[in-house]
Structure 1
Amino acid sequence: MGTTITVTVEESGREGGAAGGSAGPVRLVCTDHGGDGPPLLLLHGLAGHRGEWDALAARFAATHRVIAFDARGSGESTRRPGDVSRAAHVRDVLAVARRFGLAGEETVLVGQSMGGLTALLAAAAHPEVCRALVLVEAGPAGPSPRLPEQIGAWLDSWPVPFPDVATAEAFFGGGPAGRAWAAGLVPGPGGLHPRADRDVMVATVQENARRHFWGDWGRVRCPVLVVRGGNGAMKPDEADRMRSLHPATRIAVVPGAGHDVHLDDTAALYGEMAAFLA
């Protein structure tokens, strides 16, 4: 299960404040899965949690040191931070890397969905932080004006509170992905509740609604593995454009997997990553 460690990030401003969010320090709850090899720093997607990476971490235990953390606003980290901008998420990556002494010439940043965008932006702005990127269903496309509305409607559709784990797993589609999403819930009045606040999640994607990130992609210099799900949300032409602009990009497609490739087919993602890292 690894060792749980909390990293505190002091806030200096509110570039992208969440409604009613606190301007105080942000707690980031991390799991150090151990291992003596090159570090992998794992970043989950919107409204997710670090436990989503447990199965992948177990597969890399023999060859890599694996660390995952709950993003601000998610999981066990600060639920209502004062700043949910992309820049704030990048600062969190740097803070976690410093806390665990991760050497940039060895560290690989791995991110899924919004976590992948954070990893991309961290590599672009701070090339010293990593030697390679793995982006799972994540890229620089945009703007997406309807995204906040879509995220709000998706979260509003959750039948909260869920009466039990089985109901939650079924709602989230069953299988490994359903189990992982259900594991992100916490007991509360009347049943199980999300650990992520609806309004904070909507605020988190406001920047994506306004702009694209192709300029940031142009500043990435390290090798990149882009992994799409065969049934995922990432469009093939986005991945193809990424490779055309940055030739040191490898694209892999996991057939049958959806947006949560890391949950739908952990073995396939591990295989693609292991080959890339070798």
Structure 2
Amino acid sequence: MSGEIRFQSRDGLNLYAKSYGPVDAELTVLCLHGLTRNHKDFEPLIEKLSPNHRYIGLDVRGRGQSERDPNSSNYRLDIYTQDIQELLKVLTYKKLVLIGTSMGGLLSLILSQILSEELVGVVLNDVGPKLEKIGLDRIAGYVGSFIEHDSWEDAALAVQKSQISAFPDFKFEDWLAFAKRTHRKLENGKIVLDYDPAIAESLKNIQIDVSAEMQTWALFAATYKRPLLVIRGEISDLFSSDTAAKMVHRHGRATIVTVPNTGHAPILDEPICVKSIEKFLRKLED
């Protein structure tokens, strides 16, 4: 069972989320996507997980079916967090789990500090308190580069060009599916990326220095009181193995899963991810 959730932000934007599974489930899993993605990013995973859980996929403002913000300076983590809090106000749930990919993982760290006992577990997908500059530079190289494509096949080839280093084992059908999750068709038939190109400006606000890193590690400390699953792509250029190991050590009870020959960020439908996430969720139901 699935359904649309439409709600408003504090500053009046119309935002969108999609619900999958029974609304009275014991566990509600809130899925938070990365910088240029949308709720569809999690559909390959949701299709393979237990239908007994409820999953909520959010389109952060400026992405997917959520309204574009006329003020691009609002494309930042604190505003996104406020939007998520507004979404939670319209949801009914018993236990809440966060699955955050990349930017969504950073949002999960912030929410870990804000939410109380209703948040029972967190999954971080290829992200941590320290981000590698080489990965950020690569992402900055393609974010906001809008090209109109004449066909889904052309869009798939464009995605392949920008993401091949992260997914060297993908076949063309994988790239086509990737394109359909990240693009939309305009009324004129052209196919474009499904986000506001103005979000590229937000990358300029990311600081990589000792002070910023210390602040993010302090945020990470909020996860200590909850079960944590850390997923890392083996060849990720944004999230290092050293940072992942440090997170697990500091948390004390966290589990790390490495996805072979995959970069930033795993789709999460990989068998090792599905198995690990399902096991994690089942434990949280008890």
Asked if Structure 1 and Structure 2 have the same fold, meaning a TM-score greater than 0.5 normalized by the shorter chain, the answer is yes
Q: How does 1:168-183 map to 2 (within 5 A)?
A: 168-173=155-160, 174-176=172-174, 178-183=176-181
| Matched length | 260
Query: What 5-or-longer segments of structure 2 have no aligned partner?
Result: 161-171
Q: Which of 210, 215, 219 is residue 216 of structure 1 equivalent to? A: 219
2:143 alignment partner, SS class = helix
Please tell me the residue identity of whatever aligns with 1:89: Y
Q: Residue 261 in 1 paired to residue 266 in 2?
A: yes
Please tell me the residue identity of whatever aligns with 2:249: S
Q: Any idea what the Cα deviations from partners look like across 1:49-89, whole Å, max 9, x if unmatched?
A: 10111121122342211111111121111222642221112
Q: Any idea what the Cα deviations from partners look like across 1:66-124, whole Å, max 9, x if unmatched?
A: 11111112111122264222111222222222211233xx2110011111111121112
State whether residues 85 and 204 of structure 1, in contact with CA within 8 Å, keep that contact through their aligned partners in structure 2. no
Partner of 1:225: 229
Q: Residue 191 in 1 paired to residue 196 in 2?
A: no
How far 1:254 sits from its partner (Å)? 1.4
State whether residues 55 and 266 of structure 1, in contact with CA within 8 Å, keep that contact through their aligned partners in structure 2. no
2:16 alignment partner, SS class = strand
Q: How does 1:1-278 map to 2 (within 5 A)?
A: 2-11=2-11, 25-35=12-22, 36-80=25-69, 82=71, 83-103=74-94, 106-142=95-131, 144=133, 147=136, 150-155=138-143, 157=145, 160-173=147-160, 174-176=172-174, 178-188=176-186, 189=188, 191-203=190-202, 206-209=205-208, 211-212=212-213, 213-220=216-223, 221-233=225-237, 234-262=239-267, 265-277=269-281, 278=283
Query: What 5-or-longer segments of structure 1 have no aligned partner?
Result: 12-24
State whether residues 225 and 251 of structure 1, in contact with CA within 8 Å, keep that contact through their aligned partners in structure 2. yes
Partner of 1:14: none
User: Please, what TM-score do these two structures have when normalized by structure 1?
Assistant: 0.83
Q: Distance in 2 between matches of 1:6 and 1:215?
A: 33
Q: Distance in 2 between matches of 1:116 and 1:205?
A: 19
1:46 alignment partner, SS class = coil
Q: Distance in 2 between matches of 1:144 and 1:127?
A: 33
Aligned CA distance change for structure 1 residues 40 and 28 (closer, same or farther; 3 Å): same
How far 1:131 sits from its partner (Å)? 0.6
1:60 alignment partner, SS class = coil
Aligned CA distance change for structure 1 residues 235 and 91 (closer, same or farther; 3 Å): same
How far 1:145 sits from its partner (Å)? 10
Please tell me the residue identity of whatever aligns with 1:202: E
Q: Any idea what the Cα deviations from partners look like across 1:135-162, whole Å, max 9, x if unmatched?
A: 0111111485994x6544213555x101
User: Please, what TM-score do these two structures have when normalized by structure 2?
Assistant: 0.81
State whether residues 232 and 259 of structure 2, in contact with CA within 8 Å, keep that contact through their aligned partners in structure 1. yes
How far 1:199 sits from its partner (Å)? 2.3
How far 1:256 sits from its partner (Å)? 2.3
Q: Distance in 1 between matches of 2:8 and 2:98?
A: 20
Q: Distance in 1 between matches of 2:157 and 2:134?
A: 30
Q: Distance in 2 between matches of 1:125 and 1:69?
A: 18
Aligned CA distance change for structure 1 residues 92 and 102 (closer, same or farther; 3 Å): farther
